[in-house]
A and B are shown apart, each in its own frame.
Chain A
Amino acid sequence: DVKVTQSSRYLVKRTGEKVFLECVQDMDHENMFWYRQDPGLGLRLIYFSYDVKMKEKGDIPEGYSVSREKKERFSLILESASTNQTSMYLCASRGTGTGRSPLHFGNGTRLTVT
């Protein structure tokens, strides 16, 4: 079974802090994704990566950056955390054959910015 591991389940940070969310997958998937999920707004794509060192903006990239130095690891960075970034963050990976491969999600990180 594919395992996607997010480093923290709950995180509390102060406004202005730089925040790192880490995600590791063990299935050698090329594609990795960061979503945030908010009540009433559903899942929104922040960034994705289709290869090492490659990244693409999703629908809501403002205030975030990403890093993919190794195939198995995809990090989300909040450059200067703000209260409107309080959310559930979900990492996902997917193999090749993108049209018919499902997303595999990590357990999520609930981030609170105070």
Chain B
Amino acid sequence: QKEVEQNSGPLSVPEGAIASLNCTYSDRGSQSFFWYRQYSGKSPELIMFIYSNGDKEDGRFTAQLNKASQYVSLLIRDSQPSDSATYLCAEHTGGFKTIFGAGTRLFVKA
């Protein structure tokens, strides 16, 4: 059974700090990984995707992929209270399915 594991949190960081969200996956053949943000009562929205080893930056967000260690992370620099949400790590398999982690709740304190 392919799995994506995330710490459920909550992860609490002060405003302006770096928030680090981590995710591990079980399938060594996995190719593509996505981070979605979900505000309470809302649907998930795409933050970033990554499929190559290394770092990918987009504004305040950096996604990191390490295929040898089978982990994916999301760094949020200069965290803002508006970043407070649940962050879902997802793996798109070679077929049609997406496997989601249970999500990490992030709380940014003003």
Contact = CB atoms under 8 A, between A and B. Distances in A.
Interface string A32-54: 01000000111101001010000
A6 to B, nearest CB: 9
Contact of A105 (B45, B95, B96): B45
A43 B44 CA distance: 10
Interface in B43-95: 43-46, 49, 51, 88, 90, 92, 94-95
Contacts of B100: 42-43
Contacts of B42: 107-108
Contacts of B94: 99
A42 B45 contact: no
Contacts of B90: 103
The interface residues of chain A, by DSSP majority, are classed as loop
Contact of B88 (A31, A43, A50, A101): A43
Interface residues of B, number: 23
Contacts of A31: 96
B11 interface: no
Contacts of A33: 98
Given A90-B43, A103-B46, 4 more contacts: A41-B102, A42-B88, A99-B32, A107-B42
Interface of B: 31-32, 34, 36, 42-46, 49, 51, 88, 90, 92, 94-98, 100-103
Interface of A: 31, 33, 40-43, 45, 48, 50, 56, 58, 90, 98-108
18 contacts: A40-B102, A42-B88, A42-B100, A42-B103, A43-B88, A48-B96, A56-B96, A90-B43, A99-B31, A102-B34, A103-B44, A103-B90, A104-B46, A105-B44, A105-B45, A107-B42, A107-B43, A108-B42
